Structure 1
Amino acid sequence: MPLVAVNDHQIHYADTHPNGSPESGLTFVFIHGLGSSQNYYFPVLPHLTGHRCITMDTYGSARSTYTGQPITIASIAADVVGVMDALKVPQAVVVGHSMGGLVVTLLGAQYADRIKGVVAIGPTHPSPILTSVMSKRSETVSAAGMEPMANTIPYQATGSKCSALAQSFIRELLIGQNPEGYSALCQAIANAPEIDYSAIKAPFLLIAGEEDQSASLEGCQHIFNHVSSANKKMEVLAQVGHWHCIEAPQLVGETISQFF
């Protein structure tokens, strides 16, 4: 099982080209959202076969075992850079979904020398509403475990064309989480910092879901409008909710591939 030690904990990852990027390709590093894992991105990877793709389980999620350390959006960003250092990746395109969208926009703003491009998929924008929702979710999971999340999110947070198979995969991602790690990540989102989107100068792609109730089009548009990159694009996927890479992997994969 490929593990790398960064910042006093273990990060589980997968690497499609462990010996380096193909000659004409880029390196992509993928950061998943809350209650997910690196496997969220695997339906998209066949569209990026000419590139090196590194997927990682965020500390506290899936196989990156939670050991009680504090988690913040900044600490997740530092873990991403630590993984890049360990795998000898000087620069990468960072791809982040939901909570991972917070991470990649922070990376684009604060680690510009390491970031070759930013892909934000359904990125959450810090707000009082987000803080309230995440705080309540943390309390629920701390009291009752992952069952309440697994029994609701796959059906409430997906779009009208989402298949039952996709919903069952989302449920499996959620039910397998460590409740303590999930709760800590909820708190990381609740306490997310304001990000200076105007500091993002790298090529920037934002993929939104038309029916996403978790990362609203209004919030996505706010992020997109404030990014300073001269090369930026926002794509809205019809009938897609908040789990874009599982609901519409071909559309997401083709959109990323065409942009880069």
Structure 2
Amino acid sequence: MVNKTTSADGVELVWTACGQGEPALVFIHGFAGDRHQFANQVEAFADRHRVITLDLAGHGESGHDRERWGPGAFADDVVAVMDAAGVEQAILIGHSMGGVVMLETANRYPERVTGLVAIDTLQNIEALFPPGMVDQLVAGMRDAFEETMEGFARALMIEQTDPDLAARLVREFVGMRPQSAIGIMSSLTSIDVLPLFENLKVPFYAINSDMQPTNRAALEQRLQRVEVEVLDRVGHFPQLEATERFNEALGRAISFI
């Protein structure tokens, strides 16, 4: 069932809740994504967990009228949906930008989070993005939005990515509203995630692709309980590209937490 609630700054948020059982799972999509990217996980885990998905502001069917973009505002979105769903505590599962959002949520609302699962994100927390990458993307969006967004989407895939899935992802990226996309990406220009790890006490499990190496040592230096699993032959969207393998890994992550 599709539900709606309102964010702290008055933006309409669309979300779904399925299943019953603890711990509850809250899935947080990445930039240009939406809740539908986790449909396969809802189907796989709702028989034993309360499963929440949402469209962050500026994405999917949620509202776009926001003055301040960034992980902090998105963290408030996550908790607004948890409140509306009656979920007091949950494991947060964040893909890509959603990984930063889940970190921000755990810092702002530590009493609401029992564990974190990162999906192809936070591979190198000491240098989250290559120098100048975000600035270059923002400049490209301002100059040639559709071309830049398509190029961005395709850079996150591998040669073996299913053509239908590739076309879907391109549509999602190109279909974003330019003003929202530019505002969101601009908010990531100077982000530093290291402070978000300073007081993080909950277990952390990463499920990453092998497109780029994961700096496991940087995570282990800062976290009490951490595990990293790398899926080979998969791009930036393992939950869509290798659903069965990803769901098995997610099951292990939940057990670890």
Q: TM-score range by the shorter chain?
A: 0.7 to 0.9
Aligned equivalents of 1:102, 1:191: Cα separation in 2: 13
SS at match of 2:188: helix
Superposed CA offset, 1:131-177 (max 9, x none): 62122212222333334312x23432113432112212211221221
Q: Which amino acid aligns with 2:134?
A: M
SS at match of 1:189: coil
Q: Verify: 1:41 aligned to 2:38, yes or no.
A: yes
Q: How many residues align?
A: 248
Aligned equivalents of 1:68, 1:201: Cα separation in 2: 31
For residue 227 of structure 1, report the CA deviation from its aligned partner.
4.1
Q: Verify: 1:156 aligned to 2:155, yes or no.
A: yes
Question: 1:119, 1:207 within 8 Å by CA — same for their partners in 2?
Answer: yes
Question: 2:15, 2:35 within 8 Å by CA — same for their partners in 1?
Answer: yes
Q: TM-score, normalised by structure 2?
A: 0.87
What do you get for the CA RMSD once the two structures are aligned? 2.1
Aligned equivalents of 1:237, 1:180: Cα separation in 2: 34
Aligned equivalents of 1:5, 1:223: Cα separation in 2: 37
Aligned equivalents of 1:226, 1:121: Cα separation in 2: 20
Aligned equivalents of 1:209, 1:128: Cα separation in 2: 16
Aligned equivalents of 1:204, 1:57: Cα separation in 2: 23
Aligned ranges 1:125-136 → 2 under 5 Å: 125=125, 127=127, 129-130=129-130, 132-136=132-136
Aligned equivalents of 2:92, 2:162: Cα separation in 1: 28
Aligned equivalents of 1:111, 1:130: Cα separation in 2: 29
For residue 39 of structure 1, report the CA deviation from its aligned partner.
1.2
Aligned equivalents of 1:37, 1:131: Cα separation in 2: 27
User: Structure 2 vs 1, CA of residues 235 and 129 (structure 1 numbering), >3 Å: closer, same or farther?
Assistant: closer
For residue 130 of structure 1, report the CA deviation from its aligned partner.
4.5
For residue 68 of structure 1, report the CA deviation from its aligned partner.
3.8
Aligned equivalents of 1:253, 1:39: Cα separation in 2: 15
Aligned ranges 1:17-166 → 2 under 5 Å: 17=19, 21-22=20-21, 25-49=22-46, 50-124=48-122, 125=125, 127=127, 129-130=129-130, 132-150=132-150, 152-166=151-165
Task: Give aligned-pair identity as a percent.
Answer: 22
Superposed CA offset, 1:58-79 (max 9, x none): 1111211211411121111122
In the alignment, structure 1 segments of 5+ residues that lack a partner are: none
In the alignment, structure 2 segments of 5+ residues that lack a partner are: none
Superposed CA offset, 1:112-146 (max 9, x none): 21101100111244748446212221222233333
Q: Which amino acid aligns with 2:204?
A: F
Aligned equivalents of 2:15, 2:131: Cα separation in 1: 29
Aligned equivalents of 2:24, 2:64: Cα separation in 1: 27
Q: TM-score, normalised by structure 1?
A: 0.86
Partner of 1:2: 3
Question: 1:130, 1:190 within 8 Å by CA — same for their partners in 2?
Answer: no
